[in-house]
Structures are given as structure tokens and as C-alpha cells.
Structure 1
């Protein structure tokens, strides 16, 4: 037996070598050429019947290629979306509803929900929650994997820190923008950079230097670090009622997470080349596939890295004030989790949605000049234990930049006593829904625990400085 005999049977690529190896083993066992050719044809005809024994590797390869070809041939969407609950329907534009409808037509979808801050995103809408069976959707998580919030309550009177000092601290101890990080001499270390996980994939090894260079910094867009006042109307969070100085930050996994998202999205789209164009951005990876497991590993590492960025930001500021936080709250809102839904273990994607299990603390910010809130989840099954992750955009970035008036935005900030460092008009408060309206629509999802009022806010410059 040689390669020509194998290729004449129609075996391709790795299958040729696997078939030849099996044929060689059968020859050593005394099988004739005709016997081997007949056996190889039988494996071709029904590989599922040969998943054990000498032809097992060849059969596995044939089954994998059949699955791949089936995916490329086309994946039919459901004719109608599965039903899903919506909170704050009057606040949500038609585009976000259309995107959620497409997501609920995927053959792997099992349940979903739409939060009141929902607006159009790539693939799954921002504010969308989607539960799938044995499938993870990179764009169901989002490009900024692990994007998250953190609040530190400090043992300092809320009025003790002057605006000038707060501004100086933010300028010195935070960094913002695409590709930006601290100078090497000022960069801090974190345990997440020393995890062995970085060595498990070539992609992660390649991105380790980028992650190291940007650790402890924040991205662009709606990311921020701000000093403000936290108000507790009654004792909670291990604190007495009253007003406290606090730091609130919003950041993610930087360029590292973005490259992970784009890499695995490309793999998912290649796997499902025949997917309906309307659902192209929702291409998925089977969780039990090699690529699916690789994404899951990289996604969770990006989530830990994002929280590490927050930890370093808050540690720098607390150290500069020579204090230790009284308490901290954090949550991620761009991740996928395994979760039991109606007795079945599913993959729950929260793209711009806050986990809100019963008793779970979370953070829901407003805008650069509007309050944010510490909340406690009520564990609503219909919402898949979720809540909004913020106020949500009322205007897209381009619309905000072209329609909002700089003087009016500045007057809004001044009226609320907010000092802004950086920030673009595309992030102006008027570009967002009213946070009070968003919270009102989800009373059954979360309980408000405390109110954060921003005072000095730092962001990236955006499309135009405010």
C-alpha cells in the first residue's frame, strides 16, 4: 500500500496520512491489499461505525470534516425568534430589538432577555443577554472582553479632597487611550501576568507583551476613572449610613482582549461560512471543540486581566492618598458564564449586562455628569439573573458628535459641579438615556443600595474635547 492507492479512494489532507498509517498496521497484521481497500471504503461510507480500533483516528478525521462541510454548506436560522422578555421596551430602539430577534433565531439559542439600556452593537445588541447550548459566541461577549466596573470606598470625608488635588491624582496615576500604557519605569506588576495560561496558546504568548505594556491603564470610548461622593441612606456594604469619598472606574481588557475577540470571531465565521448574513456577527464555536475551549480559556484570562487593571488603578490612587479602601465592589459585564437555566447547563452571554444573582452586588453607572448606583441583584429567572450595565446610549457616537452643542454640554457639567479631564462630545451626558429612567424599568431585577455622584472625571479625549 502506498499514497497513490489512498488518494485514488478520495482521501484528502490529513486523512491520507491517517489512512496510510492504518493500512500499514493492517498489512503487518497479515491483511491483503484488497481487504484493506475494502475496509477503507467501509470507513469512508460510515466513519461513525469505526470510532474504535485501527481506523479510529481516520474515522474521527472524517467525522470532523463532515461536520465542517455541513457548517459551510449553510446553517438555517429559526423562522421565528424564540420569545424573550424585555425590560424598558419604551427606551429601546428598533435596531436593538432586530438584533436580539436575530440572536434568538440561532439554532443554538435557548433563552434570552433585553435590558433597558439596550442599544445597537455588533452581533448581539449592547444590553443583550443570550443563553446558548454548547456554543460560545465571541461577538456575544464583545470586543472589549471582561469590560467591568470597580468602586472603592475610601476612609476620607467626601469633602476633604479638593478638586485640584483630585485632578492632579488622576492625571498622575491613570492612563487612557488606544495603545496607551504607563512608561516602563512606572509600570506595576500583577499576578495575572504570571499565570501559566499565557503559555497554553500561541496567541496568548504573542499577546503577553501587549498586555504587560498596558496593564493598569484604561481604554478609550466610555472608559473612565472618577472621584466622587458615595451616599448610603442606611447601613450596608459593611458601612454606616453617610457620605464617603469613593473612586469609580470603568475599563476592560485593552488591546489584548480586542485581539482575542477578533481572532476567534474569524475562526467562528470560517466555521459557519454558510450562516445567514443577518447572523454573521453571531457565528459561534462549539464549546466542546478545540477552538471553543481555546476561546473560553482566553476569554476568562481577559476577564481576569481586566479586573487586574482596575485593581492597579485603585491601588495607585489609594496609595497616593495613604489610605486603604473600606470596601470594594466590582463586576464584569462583557463575558459568558456557564449557568443552569430551567435545569439545563447553558452558556449565558452578557454583552453590556450586569450579573444580578440574588444578593449579588453590582455597579450601574450613569454618564460623566450623572450618578451611578451600587445595586444588589434580585435573581430574576426571566432576566437570566441579569440587569443593565449602565444608562445606555440614546445617540450613537457620530450622531452625538454632529448634533450636540459643546457649550450646552459644558453648561450641563458646570451645573452639576463636575470637572472633566479629557472626554469627548460623543460621551456627553446628553448622548445617554436618563439613568433614573433605566433604573425605574428594572426594579424587579435589582435593589439600589447606594448612589455615587461624580465630581472629577477623567476619560480619553474622544472625538472632540468637551
Structure 2
């Protein structure tokens, strides 16, 4: 019998830690099904489990041993007294609250490096516009609630005169082919999307419980600053990597994320992280999960699922509008934020890079940085700047909170600005008024070293959630 041939020292030589893992291993090998197992085979099996305990946590026999081998983090964690240096882009352009939040993040014992983008403003945990590299740990609130939120642009070889001549038809297309908020879903939803075949929907409890709503919400967009819009694409750089000639095109731009699925994942694993990693009050939303833990591995898998679901939603939006237009896009660009990536830092260190309200800008990486409903967005190519951790802003960034915007901006002011800029708005509210956002031109000026501008997108017909009502009607001149 294998357990009679093995001793604790044999397991210690395999790297087993002192404590209950050794006893559990010997107890399991004492079971009937392992009686004929020779010592060499037993040691080989135990080494496999020690090297990759996560592969065995769902095995009924080996689960107790696998769980005992997963390192457990300390519950009480102190911050480092010194704030690590980090680069701030457009420092005079960033509010104090965002800087203080980033300072706190740079005191975490897991922090390796960081940067703050010029669109930064205060959020929960990591500020929006914050980039944080950590050592083998992921922070759910460093990713954010709307996991994998992204921009997606489709460029069509259609006359830009359509934006004026076919305005009514384009507005109708948006109303018929987009859905917003929590009340609107498609009756002809794409239930056959490959995303729903992903094993994570069966293996991870929180994802399994949200599968039904994920199916219902496929192809829809959230509320708040999420939008789908027709606009004018102006390509200004012939070396744009999209194969587009310099000139103007019709474009569709969408901004949305992982809907209820992402929010549920974020809430679930944030609670777990805050229980396992209890930080001082000012840092409590920066609680992390070690990627050597079962919980960390589960969150990582769930985060990637939510990001891919967000992408599937955008693909469905653009598929519907392409069909309505009767055209295939000449080019498409997609980039995301509110995510964490495994990357190598300039010094060769492996890191988990969180970009909350910041977007990848590695050398040659394409993306879209939007402005507001009356200001241009920019099609960009990353320059791979080391100091920014190969990142750039994800938009203009808020100047006013939603509450401040509702108090300071009037409906008349918004209506006049939309008219002056020639923008039709379907839905939307005062909290998303352009005055609530920073000047996108100033934001771009502060990140000239981070991205090259290849062109722009000017919104002309915008659809958003109707100030939370989900009805799609507009108080500002749209249908």
C-alpha cells in the first residue's frame, strides 16, 4: 500500500509545506483504491497535485489536499509607508481625489509600478484612468465593475452625405437595432453565439447564475455613458494599418461593456477579496486575490469570460447595423479598458497590469479614444511608451460628477449645444452632457508621447439610454 511506503519526509522532499497537507495526502493514499499504487507512482501523482493544485480542486477525492496546498493570504495587510514613484500625465489636469487614490494604490505591498492618465478622475479603489502593475495578484476593483468595457468602430465605404440626407433612416436604424439599460432586450436575440458554449458558464457559480440574463442581454448596451452612434470618420494618416485611404467615411461607434454578467462577477469577487485581504479603510477597495489561490484563478477566468462577452455584444450590435445598412465594413477597430492583463515590464518582471478606465497602447496597437457626444473621438496607434506601462486614456474623462452635471447643466443649454454642433440625440440625460467632460483636445495633448493619431470620429446621430428610463426617447430633439 502506497501510504505504508511513504513518509512525511518523502512529501517534504517534493516541496510539501509543513502542516495538514502532508497528513491529508497520506490519509487519501490510505484509501482502498490506492492500495496497489507503488511508491514511485504515488510520488509522481502527489508532485502533480502539488505543482498544480487548481487542476484538482473539483476532483472529489483530491479536493481536500488541493485546497490545503493553495496558499492562503494574510487577512490583515499593512500599506507600505512610502509611495512608489509613478508617472502622471497632465498632472495639473487631474483632480486631487484621483491622485490620492493612486497614491494609496502605490503603497500596496503587491504594487510594482503604476501610471495615471490625463482623463483620470476619482472612482472606487483604483481611480478611473489608473494603471497599476502588481505582483501575481489581481484587484477586482482595480479592474472595475463593468469588466471589459470597450470601444468598437466600424468604417463603411458610404458617402458621408448620408448623415444629413438619410438622417431619419439612420435614426430608425439605431432605434430598431440597439437596446439600452436593464429593460430593453432583443426578441430575436442571438442565442447561438459561441460565447454561451464557454465552460466557465458551467464551472463558475456566479457566471452560471447569470447565464440566463447574459443570453437575454446579448447585443444590448448599458446606461450611463454607453452609446451607439453614427458619425463621420476622417482618416488623416495614410499609414493607418487599416488599409484605408486618407479621406472621409461613414462610421458606427459603440461603447459598452459586460452588462449584468460583469457587474455580478465584480461584486462577488470583490467581497471575497475584501474578506481575505483586509486593508486599512482608505485602501479597502484595493483588496486583491492572489493568482496562487483558487479564488484568484476563478476570478481571472470569470473576468476573461466577461470581457469576451462584452466583445460579443459589440459584434452583435455592429452585425445588426451592417445588415441594416446593407454594407460590410471596410475596417474595424476594437479596444477595451476595465481589465487586467499578464504582461512583462521593461525590466523583465512578470506583472498583472490593471487598466481601469485606461486602454492598452502597446507599440502598433490600434484603439479609439472618444470625446463626448459633441466632440470628436480619435483613432490612435499606440507608441509603446514604457513610463505609461504602454497605456493611454480611454476617453476625455469626467470634469463633473453625474450629480454635479444635473445641478449645473440645464436642458436648454444642452439643447442649444446639440443644435449648434449638428448632433441628433436619442435618449441621454443631463448627467452625460458634454459640459460634464474634460476637453478631449487637452487630454490628447497630454498624451502625445503615448499614441499617434490616425484619424477622428465626429458623432452626428447618438443613441444612449434615456436617462435611466430605457425608453429610448429624447427630450432634446431625437425620436
Q: TM-score range by the shorter chain?
A: 0.7 to 0.9
**Distance apart, 1:193 and its partner CA:** 1.6
2:437 maps to what in 1? 432
**Distance apart, 1:272 and its partner CA:** 1.4
Q: Distance in 2 between matches of 1:21 and 1:128?
A: 44
Q: Is the 8 A contact 2:70 2:293 kept in 1?
A: no
Consecutive aligned runs of 4 or more in structure 1 exceeding 4 Å deviation = 15-28, 56-65, 463-466
Equivalent residues in 2 for 1:2-151, closer than 5 Å: 67-68=72-73, 71-72=74-75, 74-151=76-153
**Distance apart, 1:180 and its partner CA:** 3.3
**Distance apart, 1:203 and its partner CA:** 2.1
Q: Does 1:163 find its partner at 2:184?
A: no
**Distance apart, 1:354 and its partner CA:** 1.0
**Distance apart, 1:22 and its partner CA:** 5.2
**Distance apart, 1:287 and its partner CA:** 0.9
1:124-159 residue CA offsets vs partner (Å, 9 max, x unmatched): 000000000010000000000000000000121111
Q: Is the 8 A contact 1:18 1:57 kept in 2?
A: no
2:207 maps to what in 1? 204
Residue 315 of structure 2 aligns to a residue in which SS? Answer: helix
**Distance apart, 1:16 and its partner CA:** 9.4
Q: Does 1:266 find its partner at 2:271?
A: yes
Q: Distance in 1 between matches of 2:335 and 2:193?
A: 19
1:221 maps to what in 2? 224
1:239-261 residue CA offsets vs partner (Å, 9 max, x unmatched): 11111000000010000000000
1:42 maps to what in 2? none
Q: Is the 8 A contact 1:426 1:463 kept in 2?
A: no
Q: Distance in 2 between matches of 1:61 and 1:361?
A: 42
Q: Is the 8 A contact 2:21 2:68 kept in 1?
A: no
2:383 maps to what in 1? 378
1:254 maps to what in 2? 259
Change over 3 Å in CA distance of 1:255–1:25 after alignment to 2: closer
Change over 3 Å in CA distance of 1:393–1:344 after alignment to 2: same
Q: 2:316 aligns with which of 297, 302, 312?
A: 312
Change over 3 Å in CA distance of 1:347–1:21 after alignment to 2: closer
Q: Distance in 2 between matches of 1:329 and 1:304?
A: 15
1:401-452 residue CA offsets vs partner (Å, 9 max, x unmatched): 1111111111111111000000010000000000000000000000110110
Q: Is the 8 A contact 2:370 2:378 kept in 1?
A: yes
1:318-369 residue CA offsets vs partner (Å, 9 max, x unmatched): 1011110000000011110001012011000000001000111011000111
**Distance apart, 1:196 and its partner CA:** 2.5
1:7 maps to what in 2? none
Residue 88 of structure 2 aligns to a residue in which SS? Answer: coil
Q: Distance in 2 between matches of 1:446 and 1:104?
A: 25
Structure 1 stretches lacking a partner, 5+ long? 1-14, 29-47
Change over 3 Å in CA distance of 1:188–1:455 after alignment to 2: farther
Aligned length: 421
2:420 maps to what in 1? 415
**Distance apart, 1:195 and its partner CA:** 2.0
Structure 2 stretches lacking a partner, 5+ long? 1-18, 33-49, 54-61, 470-474
**Distance apart, 1:197 and its partner CA:** 2.7
Change over 3 Å in CA distance of 1:280–1:24 after alignment to 2: closer
**Distance apart, 1:462 and its partner CA:** 2.1
Q: Distance in 2 between matches of 1:441 and 1:369?
A: 21
Q: Distance in 2 between matches of 1:152 and 1:25?
A: 59
1:160-191 residue CA offsets vs partner (Å, 9 max, x unmatched): 242111110000000001353212x3545421
Residue 433 of structure 1 aligns to a residue in which SS? Answer: coil
Q: Does 1:337 find its partner at 2:353?
A: no
Change over 3 Å in CA distance of 1:159–1:276 after alignment to 2: same
Q: Is the 8 A contact 1:188 1:216 kept in 2?
A: no
Change over 3 Å in CA distance of 1:64–1:318 after alignment to 2: closer
Q: Distance in 2 between matches of 1:138 and 1:349?
A: 9
Q: Distance in 1 between matches of 2:191 and 2:468?
A: 29
Q: 1:238 aligns with which of 239, 243, 250?
A: 243
Residue 269 of structure 1 aligns to a residue in which SS? Answer: helix
Equivalent residues in 2 for 1:385-464, closer than 5 Å: 385-462=390-467
Change over 3 Å in CA distance of 1:189–1:159 after alignment to 2: farther
Q: Distance in 2 between matches of 1:59 and 1:164?
A: 65
Q: Distance in 2 between matches of 1:223 and 1:296?
A: 25
